[in-house]
Amino acid sequence: MQTIRIVMVFCALAGASSGTFARDLNKNERDICTWGAGVAATAQQYKLSGLTLYGARNKMQARHFPQQWMRMSALGITEQTYDSPSRLRPEGVKQVYYEGCTRHELARR
């Protein structure tokens, strides 16, 4: 799961058309991408603040998730964020993740 690396490649390709793609997704797909982007931004914030991966994983484990699958996904996103050499600000990571996620969802169709 090389999410961050793949998402960064998609970001370079996204350009101004990313808004168009988001409108083609249904609400559930957009919500999942928004949620994942928020997790990636939080993980990047932890990483830039100097928190270890172990500490970030513990913080993610302590969070309440409404769906059972979200905990493992959040941990995976966190690990990929820490594995990435990116020093982007959390807002940038959030945008890159969302754009990549929406492109992925559209490609699945």
Q: Collect all residues with Cβ–Cβ distance below 8 Å to 71 and sequence separation of at least 6.
A: 60, 61, 63, 65
pTM score above 0.85? no
Classify residue 49 as exposed, middle or buried by CB count within 10 Å of its CB (0-12, 13-18, 19+).
exposed
pLDDT at 5: 53
How far apart CA 69 and CA 56 sit, in angstroms, is 18
Would you state the pLDDT for residue 14?
A: 46
pLDDT along the chain (109 residues), means of 10: 50 45 82 98 98 98 96 98 97 98 93
DSSP 8-state class, residue 17 = G
Whole-number Å distance between alpha carbons of 42 and 75: 11
Q: Where are the domains of the chain?
A: 41-109
Q: pLDDT digits over 68-91, tens only? A: 999 999 999 999 999 999 999 999
pLDDT recorded at residue 24? 83
Q: Which pLDDT score, from 0 to 100, does residue 109 have?
A: 80
Report in angstroms the alpha-carbon separations of 43 from 63, 101, 108.
13, 17, 26
pLDDT at res. 4:
54
